[in-house]
Copies of this chain bind each other. A is one copy, B any other.
Amino acid sequence: MEARAPRPGVPVRGSASGRPVMAALDLLGRRWTMRILWELSHAPAGFRELQRRCERMSSSVLSTRLDDLTAARLAALHDDGYRLTPLGRDLVEALAPLSAWSRRWAEEMGDAPPSDQP
């Protein structure tokens, strides 16, 4: 472990206020964080399997992200690999509408291509 993981109530990158939602935006705005939560919500996974599921994620970043998530109490390492905590499951649940939204987004972007790609 090394760098400070964002925690509510404490100033984070981009916000001195310590407002919980800002800590959340900091944590989730780090690369791979949401993807890892996403994958873990489907099924628990060990380090190496998680890496396989997130194609191209570097082991070093996976390691620090798992530290982040562990410090934030959203995930924890068990005998069968990393699992979301109840809090982590709630977060994924809060993020769930993203999936439906992204399909709407895809539709709307599909209609009129943004000036490249034939």
Contact = CB atoms under 8 A, between A and B. Distances in A.
Contacts of A103: 20-21
Contact of A94 (B20, B30, B100, B117): B100
A23 interface: yes
Residue among A38, A100, A105 with max Cβ neighbours from chain B (10 Å): A105
A109 B16 contact: no
Contacts of A31: 13-14, 29-30
A87 B108 contact: yes
Contacts of A23: 102, 105-106
> Considering the complex of A and B, which 7 residue pairs feature the smallest CB-CB distances, nearest first?
A8-B106, A94-B97, A20-B102, A20-B106, A24-B102, A94-B101, A21-B102
